[in-house]
């Protein structure tokens, strides 16, 4: 009889897509699975911005509680929702193969463009700050909830279009509503965007950990995300801090491009570093050092001061 792996997940359609995807990977390796749906603070509080709730553990705390007491074996998250420093006793053992990383514009109106004076719905400080920098004529409105809720709010007239990650839109089969794919140099994505992270309690049986990692971890994605997350860790970036990073792998070399943008969009730092794929975390530290050296620390301090008011 194979080991039963209990998979903890949030209950949105997108979160369930991720859980079923991981379940399929595990079952291919002969593991039995059970999906356990868990409500998180980020799902319950929809009328307050993530920045005001507090970005640490908004979508993960309740899942981690159940990992710790053994009610679930693994927690499945969007990698971009994972805080840079996990609480003591937890680790990420796998990142699934990454989807296309771009942000996209989603609307029923095919004429929508960032060149026009439009209203965009987004809950991301990174996207809002980036728009203020490159497209200051575009207005934004806070819109939270799952993808279906956001689309409904748009259809009710809250905004002309939504600014979302391609991965979620594609996985929910709303490709027909994509009216624009945004440039990665301007809209460099959130760390981890497009991949699914698998978190466990460190105390989980090592053999079980190894089986899960072997079934789910995509080597190239893992190398890229280790570099990105090392950068995020130095900046202590959560969902409310407008930092960005994207790593790419070319044979044994990793290129990592990332930076930070001020909340008002006036200042934006973007730097690229390259190094060995053997030490992706070292590259993340190098990028952070360079960003700080040209004013990134002052921008970060100002952001934290503003958000803590």
Q: Using only the alpha carbons of the chain, give its radius of gyration.
A: 19
Cα atoms in the Cβ-side hemisphere of radius 13 Å centred on 10: 22
Among 81, 109, 175, 183, the one annotated catalytic: 81
Closest CA to 147 of 53, 11, 10, 13: 13
CA distances from 131 to 86, 198, 252 (A): 30, 31, 34
Does residue 227 come out as left (phi exceeding 0), alpha (psi in the -120 to 50 range) or beta?
alpha
The rounded distance, in Å, linking the Cα atoms of 239 and 229 is 13
CA distances from 159 to 130, 142, 169, 188 (A): 18, 10, 17, 23
Residue 175 annotated among the catalytic residues of the structure: no
Question: E strand or H helix at 120, and its extent?
Answer: strand 119-122
Active-site residue set: 81
């Amino acid at each position: 009889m194979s080991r039963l792996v209990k998979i903890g997940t949030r209950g949105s359609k997108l979160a369930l897509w991720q859980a079923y995807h991981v379940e399929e990977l595990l079952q291919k390796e002969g593991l039995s699975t059970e999906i356990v749906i868990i409500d998180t603070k980020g799902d319950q509080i929809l009328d307050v911005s993530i920045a005001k709730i507090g970005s640490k553990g908004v979508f993960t705390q309740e899942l981690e509680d159940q990992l710790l007491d053994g009610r679930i074996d693994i927690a499945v998250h969007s990698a971009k929702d994972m805080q840079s420093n996990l609480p003591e006793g937890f680790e990420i053992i796998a990142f699934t193969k990454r989807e296309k990383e771009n942000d996209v514009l989603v609307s029923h109106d095919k004429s929508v463009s960032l060149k026009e004076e439009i209203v965009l719905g987004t809950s991301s400080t990174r996207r809002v700050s980036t728009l203020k920098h490159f497209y200051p004529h575009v207005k934004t409105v806070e819109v939270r909830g799952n993808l279906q809720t956001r689309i409904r709010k748009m259809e009710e007239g809250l905004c002309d279009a939504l600014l979302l990650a391609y991965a979620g839109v594609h996985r929910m089969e709303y490709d027909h509503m994509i009216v624009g794919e945004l440039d990665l140099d301007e809209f460099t994505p959130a760390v981890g965007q497009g991949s699914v992270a698998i978190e466990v309690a460190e105390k989980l049986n090592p053999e079980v950990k190894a089986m899960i990692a072997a079934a789910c971890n995509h080597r190239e994605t893992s190398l890229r995300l280790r570099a990105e997350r090392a950068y995020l860790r130095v900046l202590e970036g959560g969902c409310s801090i407008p930092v960005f990073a994207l790593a790419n792998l070319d044979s044994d070399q990793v290129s990592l491009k990332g930076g930070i943008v001020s909340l008002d969009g006036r200042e934006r730092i973007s730097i690229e570093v390259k190094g060995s794929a053997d030490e992706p975390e070292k590259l993340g530290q190098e990028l952070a050092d360079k960003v700080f050296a040209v004013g990134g620390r002052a921008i970060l301090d100002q952001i934290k001061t503003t958000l803590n008011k």
